[in-house]
Amino acid sequence: METTKFILIGGGGHARVVLSIIEAQETSILEGVFDSNPKIEALDGVENFQNYNPDLFPNALAFIAIGDNRIRKQLTQTIQHAFGVLIHPTASIDRLSLAGEGSVVMHHAVIQRGTKIGKHGIINTACSVDHDCILGDFVHIAPNATLCGGVQIGDETFIGAGVVVLPQIKIGKRVIIGAGTVVTKNIPDGATVIGNPGKIIKSHGAI
C-alpha cells in the first residue's frame, strides 16, 4: 500500500493535533515541519526546518497546521507544494459530503449528507455538522460546535467552542461567534456575536 507523505506548515499546539491525525493513518507519514519560531526544534520528534523551502520533500503534500483563519489564508499564497486533506479515522463523513483541499476533520467529528466544506477548513474535535451545510474557505469550527441542517457560513469565519447554529441560518464572511453562543438569526459580514440567544456586539461590515 502506497504511503502518503506530508509536511506541516506550523509547529504549535494545533499542529500537534494534526500530527496525531497523520499518525492515526497507517498509510501516512510526516516528513518535516516548517515553523519560523527558532524555539521549536521539533514537533513530537519530527524535525522543524524553520523557513519553508519548496525544494525540500517535493513529493510530499503540504498542510497548513495553523488555527488562525487569516494567517492560514495568507500562507496558502506562499506554498508551492500541493495540499492534502486530513480526516481522523474516528470522524464520520457521509459519502455525499465533500471536504476541500487543505481541510482537516478531527477526532469524532460528524459531517452529514450533502455538506460541502471549502478549502483549508477546520472541523475540530467532536463537531456536528448536519445535512446540506455549506462552509466557505478558511472556516474554523471549534470543538463541540453544532451546525444544524442547511447552515451557510462565509469565508474566514470562526465558530467558537460549543456554539449551536439553528437550521437554515446564514452567517457571513469573517464573522466571530463566541464560545457557547446560540445563533438564532442570520449574521452579516464582519460581525462578532456572543450570548444565548446570540447578539451582535461588534460589526465591521464587509472587510
Positions marked catalytic: 131
Sign of torsion, CA 103 108 109 113? positive
Question: What are 1's three cell numbers?
Answer: 500500500
Ramachandran region of residue 27, left (φ > 0), alpha (ψ -120 to 50) or beta?
A: alpha
Cα distance between residue 42 and residue 48, in whole Å: 5
Beta bridge partners of 193: 177, 200
Instruction: Tell me if 33 sits within 8 A of 48, measured CB to CB.
Output: yes
